[in-house]
């Protein structure tokens, strides 16, 4: 059985443009800012894990060409 984490309250200081991007992500998915931030963190963790294991993240364009997404 998965162990549930204790929920902690925190305060973030974000630039307005970053908060606007987070709000856009939440609005597009019909979720809260908290849920959008949780998804963003989970995605970052997954992507970095795959890259650490030698994987690459590719985006297929509408014309069926691929571009590699490079994270620094």
Reading the chain (72 residues) residue by residue, the pLDDT tens digits are 556 789 999 999 999 999 999 999 999 999 999 999 999 999 999 999 999 999 999 999 999 999 999 988
35, two tokens? 């849920």
Please, where are the H alpha helices in the chain?
16-29, 33-52
For the entire predicted model, the pTM comes to 0.81
């Amino acid at each position: 059985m998965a162990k549930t984490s204790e929920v902690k309250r925190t305060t973030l200081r974000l630039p307005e443009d970053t908060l606007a991007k987070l709000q856009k992500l939440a609005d597009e998915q019909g979720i809260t800012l908290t849920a959008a931030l949780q998804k963003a963190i989970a995605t970052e963790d997954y992507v970095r894990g795959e890259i650490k294991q030698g994987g690459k993240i590719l985006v297929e364009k509408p014309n069926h060409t691929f571009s590699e997404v490079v994270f620094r």
